[in-house]
Amino acid sequence: MKTVTKSAVRQPPRDIPLDTIRRLSICLRALNRLKERGIATVNSVELAEPLNFSSEQLRKDLSYFGRFGKSGVGYDVGQLSGKIHSILGTDKVWNVAVLGAGELGTALLGYSGFEDFNLRVCAALDNDPRKIGKTINGVRVSAIAGLSDIVRRNEIKAAILTVTKTAAQEVAQKAVACGIKAVLNFAPVTLNLPKGVHVSNMDVSCELETLVCRLANRN
Amino acid sequence: MKTVTKSAVRQPPRDIPLDTIRRLSICLRALNRLKERGIATVNSVELAEPLNFSSEQLRKDLSYFGRFGKSGVGYDVGQLSGKIHSILGTDKVWNVAVLGAGELGTALLGYSGFEDFNLRVCAALDNDPRKIGKTINGVRVSAIAGLSDIVRRNEIKAAILTVTKTAAQEVAQKAVACGIKAVLNFAPVTLNLPKGVHVSNMDVSCELETLVCRLANRN
DNA sequence: CGGACTTCGTTACAGTTTTCACAATCTAAT
DNA sequence: ATTAGATTGTGAAAACTGTAACGAAGTCCG
Cβ contact B99:B163 at 8 Å? yes
Average pLDDT over residues B125-137: 97
Last residue of a domain, one of B70, B87, B104: B87
Cα nearest neighbour of B117 on chain A: A209
**How many angstroms away from the CA of A144 is the closest CA of chain B?**
21
Give the CA distances from residue B8 to residues B3, B35, B181, in Å, rounded to whole numbers and listed in that order: 12, 21, 28
Question: What residue in A sits closest to B198 (Cα-Cα)?
Answer: A211
- Do A115 and A194 fall into the same domain? yes
Query: Counting runs of H as helices and runs of E as strands, what totals does chain B give?
Result: 8, 9
Mean pLDDT, chain B, as a whole number?
Answer: 94
Q: CATH number of the domain that A55 lies in?
A: 1.10.10.10
Same domain, A125 and A193: yes
Answer yes or no: are the C-beta atoms of B181 and B158 closer than 8 Å: yes
Q: Which of B158, B165, B208 sits opposite A160 (nearest CB)?
A: B208
Based on the fold, state whether residues A39 and A60 are members of the same structural domain.
Answer: yes
Interface probe with B: pick from A29, A96, A213, most Cβ of B within 10 Å: A213
If asked whether residues B104 and B28 sit together in one domain, one would say no
**How far apart, in whole angstroms, are the C-alpha atoms of residue B213 and residue A16?**
11
Pairing of strands B135-136, B41-42: unpaired
Give the dihedral of Cα atoms B29, B32, B34, B36; nearest 10 deg.
Answer: -140
Domain co-membership, A77 together with A124: no
The DSSP string of A11-47 is PPSSPPPHHHHHHHHHHHHHHHHHHHTT--EE-HHHH
Q: Is residue B70 domain-shared with residue B108, that is, in the same domain?
A: no
Angle at A124 between CA A118 and CA A129, to 5 degrees: 175
Give the pLDDT band (50/70/90) at residue A217.
Answer: confident
Distance (Å, whole) CA B191 – CA A129: 40
pLDDT at A79: 97
CB contact under 8 A, B215 and A158: yes
Give the start-end residues of each E strand in chain B.
Answer: 41-42, 75-76, 94-99, 119-126, 135-136, 139-143, 158-161, 182-185, 198-201
Nearest DNA or RNA nucleotide to A67 (CA to C1'):
C9
Is residue A154 in a domain? yes
Domain containing residue A118: CATH number: 3.40.50.720
Closest CB from B112, B114, B214 relative to A182: B214
Pairs of CB atoms within 8 A across A/B: 207
Q: Do A50 and B214 touch (CB under 8 A)?
A: no
Q: Answer yes or no: is A1 within a domain.
A: no
B114 occurs within a structural domain: yes
**CA closest to B84 among chain A residues:** A213
- Specify the pLDDT at position B7: 54
Q: How far is the CA of B14 from the C1' of D8 (A)?
A: 22
How many whole angstroms separate alpha carbon A208 and alpha carbon A143? Answer: 33
How far in angstroms lies nucleotide D22's C1' from the CA of residue A62? 19
Bridge partners of residue A142, in order along the sequence? A125
Asked if residue A63 belongs to a domain, the reply is yes
Distance from CA of B208 to the nearest CA of A (A): 6
* Local confidence band at B12 (pLDDT 50, 70, 90 cut-offs): low
Residue range of the domain that includes B156: 94-206
Say how far apart CA B212 and CA A184 lie, in whole Å: 10
B218 domain residue, yes or no: no
| B30–A202 CB contact, under 8 Å | no
The answer to whether A116 touches B212, Cβ cutoff 8 Å, is no
Q: Which nucleotides of C are covered by protein (CB under 7 A)?
A: 5-11, 16-21, 24-27
Q: Total domain count for chain A? A: 2
Amino acid at B187: A
Please state the φ and ψ torsions of residue A25, each to the nearest 5 degrees: -60, -50
Residues engaging strand C (CB under 7 angstroms): A 43-45, 55-56, 59-60, 62-63, 67-75; B 15, 17-20, 53-54, 56-57, 60, 70-73
Quick one: pLDDT at residue B14? 67
Q: Exposed e or buried b for every residue in B41-79, given b needs 16+ CB within 10 A?
A: bbbbeebbeebebeeeebbebbebbeebbeeeebbbbee
For residue range B196-206, what is the model confidence (pLDDT) as tens digits?
Answer: 999 999 999 99
pLDDT tens digit sequence for A29-86: 999 999 999 999 999 999 999 999 999 999 999 999 999 999 999 999 999 999 999 9
Average pLDDT value for chain A: 94
Q: Is A61 left (phi over 0), alpha (psi -120 to 50) or beta?
A: alpha
Report CA(B189)–C1'(C7) in Å, whole number: 27
In a domain, A141, yes or no: yes
The pLDDT of residue A145 is above 60: yes
SS3 A98: strand
Intra-chain end-to-end CA distance of chain A, in Å: 62
Residues B127 and B82 in one domain: no
Confidence label for B2 from pLDDT (cuts 50, 70 and 90): very low
d(CA B135, CA B141): 6
B127 in any annotated domain:
yes
Residue B218 pLDDT greater than 90, yes or no: no
Closest by CA position to B179, among listed B140, B216, B150:
B150
Residue-wise pLDDT for B30-69, tens only, equals 999 999 999 999 999 999 999 999 999 999 999 999 999 9
Mutate to test the interface with A, among B81, B164, B181, B213 (most CBs of A within 10 A): B213
Does the residue B4 lie in any domain? no
Interatomic CA distance for residues B58 and B60, integer angstroms: 5
Contact B103 A103 (CB under 8 A): yes
- pLDDT at site B9: 80
Give the Cα separation of A29 and B180 in Å (integer).
27
